[in-house]
Structure 1
Amino acid sequence: MALDIRWGRRRQNFHPLSRALLLKLTVIIISVLLFCEYIIYYIVIFRCRWPEVKTLAHGDRQEPVLKAMFLADTHLLGEIRGHWLDKLRREWQMERAFQTALWLLRPEVVFILGDIFDEGKWSTAQAWADDVQRFQKMFRHGSHVQLKVIIGNHDVGFHYQMSKYRIKRFEKVFGSERLFSWKGVNFVMVNSVAMEGDGCSICSEAEAELREISRKLNCSREQVQGSSRCEGEQRLPFSAPVLLQHYPLYRASDANCSGDDAAPPEEKNVPFKEKYDVLSREASQKLLWWLQPRLVLSGHTHSACQVLHPGGAPEVSVPSFSWRNRNNPSFIMGSLTSRDFALSKCYLPLEDRVLITYGAAGGFLMILILVHFERLPSSFLLGWKLCRMHTRR
């Protein structure tokens, strides 16, 4: 009986994974998870700063500055092509990045430049409702922030897939607003998928909307100059608009794009296909002529690029916000007034650095376990002898 008691005590003392070791492993695992899945977003985004923009004085007050965030191509996975683990991982990353950016940077308006969903072009009514619910959870925001969403080809389909049903379904959730003005800044939000120019009913309606917006913008210029041709017209701020759309305006390729988040070298010289990778020359010229924008922001390519179009309008292609499309996602921060603007880029945590951190933590855990087991051979030997003596009795 005494031998049984002693053997029980020794067995507790020589258990391969002691309570102290288990506590260490648990603390390390929780700390690494907390750092890689939560804290790292605060560390990285905290370094981002709103760019400075020149402001003019109006009497005893300064011209207001609008702080706007621009992101693109979130591509929330659907029920057909989306593996549950991939969806869980990517959506958690985007949710944490967006919520952290809202908390640290305090933007006044956020624009998402299309391809919100990956399977909107063919999703069923139930799948669409599920995707919308997940989007609204991820990109939730307070009443002090406005969220504006532009149509992308994955949301309603390419031109040959696009239908009035899909467009109405999208607009029911995100609104059909095409002209948005705040703090003296005009934004024109274009359904670039409808800029095919083939005379289809959807395309004709989209172009008619843009011509009406062009008329209103021209009236705002004429009213300031004292013209009476637009009397009775609701007055817009006297400010050249910012053009927002999913497809980029026409460019031959990304050959002249540079930067850490530009297209990879093997893709830069691949010619773009009009009406698929970029808008056609004709559609691009129409938009530049009708709207005379001072700045263009677009998505679709998943890579960064800066282009100067005829007439002096600069275009910035915003990279994808999803780690599924890039190792280094980012978003654009804009400080805008009615006359000027300044942009800066805010990078999110690099995917490979997160994986390296997990790998290093896993290696450290293995070392701890091996070091622990190196101290056990004599204990195991004594335990084996006691066990044999016990069984013989």
Structure 2
Amino acid sequence: MFSSLWLVWCSNFFHFINLFSQRPVGLSWSRLALALLDMGKLLAASHRSHPCTLISPFVFFMQAWADDVRRFRKMFKYPVSTELVVIVGNHDIGFHYEMTTYKVHRFEKVFNFTSGKLITRKGINFVLVNSVAMEGDGCAVCRTSEAKLVALSHKLNCSQQKPNHSNERCSDVEKLPASEPILLQHYPLYRKSDAECSGEDSAPPGEKNIPFKEKYDVLSQEASQKLLWWFHPRLILSGHTHSACEVLHAGKIPEISVPSFSWRNRNNPSFIMGSITPTDFSLQKCFLPYESRVFTIYCAAGALLVILILAHCQLLTPPFYFAQRLISKHKAV
């Protein structure tokens, strides 16, 4: 018998990590500071449920690497009992044309990430995919990444006694829990657009029918079919598009793309909390407060505080005396 594994899956939270070194145009320092403060509090609040695994599909490191990592560790504090897993994305190592072996190794060293790595917890298999390296052009990083995934696929299929894997081929293979794996990756699998996506955190109506570009917005059809064929996953968790979407691949394999966990990109960020067993899973979406409402509350509270301070210092004439003075002046005239 296996107990369930609790996890948190959030995307793009660390778009904010780098903002202190390069503030986006149009984003004031006051708004940025409040956003960082509140996002940090909200992330810390999710820890109170004591998840076993905290997973982020990607971070946002593009400037001074050491400074960004330092800020990451300072902001992303979590209990010792919680395991942190960070999935590499295009903001960490660049898009495919920017990706280098140096950038990949730099990320792996800091976050102990390896493309094609298997994490098994409580009988549950998680496959970490470097989706940036699924370009299919035979580059050095791509070849290495795909070779690891193929080897891992063989191990998992042998452990599950797939029909196309004979006992002879699996005799010298390390046996893993027979649970079908869960894929964790940055890019979603191929889909034409977000037209079929629904929910309040999905893409705006005006953007849903915009076609996705393969190998940029989503994985290519070829790469997507490879992952499905290699692993036969029971669940796929992804990010990247900044909007939520739930789709079924081959009519039975669910993929959930989480929206950006950042007020910089949307007014209503969300993340996923889940309970997973070797044979089942239950996921719940958690929403952050609307940014517009939060700032309305801050502004109202600030205005009230100013009024109270002025009244306390007798710099603000009470409305009753102000009206009485106006009436007296009118009678005198």
Match of 2:44 among 99, 106, 126: 99
Match of 1:136 among 68, 73, 76: 73
Structure 1: segments with no counterpart, 5+ residues: 1-57, 379-393
Alignment of 1:62-101 (within 5 A): 63-74=2-13, 75=15, 76-78=17-19, 79-81=21-23, 85=30, 88-101=33-46
Pair 1:184 & 2:123 matched: yes
Structure 2: segments with no counterpart, 5+ residues: 323-333
Letter in 2 for 1:93: D
Alignment of 1:199-238 (within 5 A): 199-222=138-161, 227=167, 229-238=169-178
What is the number of equivalent residue pairs in this alignment? 310
Letter in 2 for 1:261: D
Identity of aligned residues (%): 54
Answer with 359-368 or 324-333: which moved more: 359-368
SS in 1 for 2:73: helix
Equivalent position of 1:321 in the other structure = 261
CA distance in 2, matches of 1:174, 1:288: 26
Pair 1:263 & 2:263 matched: no
The TM-score normalised by the length of structure 2 is 0.86
Whether contact under 8 Å (1:299, 1:318) holds in the other structure is: yes
After superposition, give the CA deviation of every residue in 1:47-100 in whole Å (9 maximum; x if it has no partner): xxxxxxxxxxx4xxxx31111110111212252445765653333233211211
Pair 1:354 & 2:294 matched: yes
Which one has more relative contact order, counting CA pairs under 8 Å at least 6 apart? 1
Letter in 1 for 2:288: L
Alignment of 1:296-335 (within 5 A): 296-310=236-250, 312-335=252-275
CA distance in 1, matches of 2:259, 2:183: 17
Q: CA RMSD in A?
A: 2.4
Superposed displacement of residue 138, structure 1: 1.1
CA distance in 2, matches of 1:277, 1:70: 20
Letter in 2 for 1:131: D
The TM-score normalised by the length of structure 1 is 0.74
CA distance in 2, matches of 1:351, 1:257: 23
When you count helix as a share of all residues, which structure comes out higher?
Answer: 1
CA distance in 1, matches of 2:218, 2:318: 65
Residues 239 and 361 of structure 1: CA distance in aligned 2, closer, same or farther (over 3 Å) = same
Alignment of 1:1-393 (within 5 A): 58=1, 63-74=2-13, 75=15, 76-78=17-19, 79-81=21-23, 85=30, 88-102=33-47, 104-114=48-58, 116-117=59-60, 119-120=61-62, 123=63, 127-177=64-114, 178-222=117-161, 227=167, 229-310=169-250, 312-365=252-305, 367-368=307-308, 369=310, 372=314, 373-375=316-318
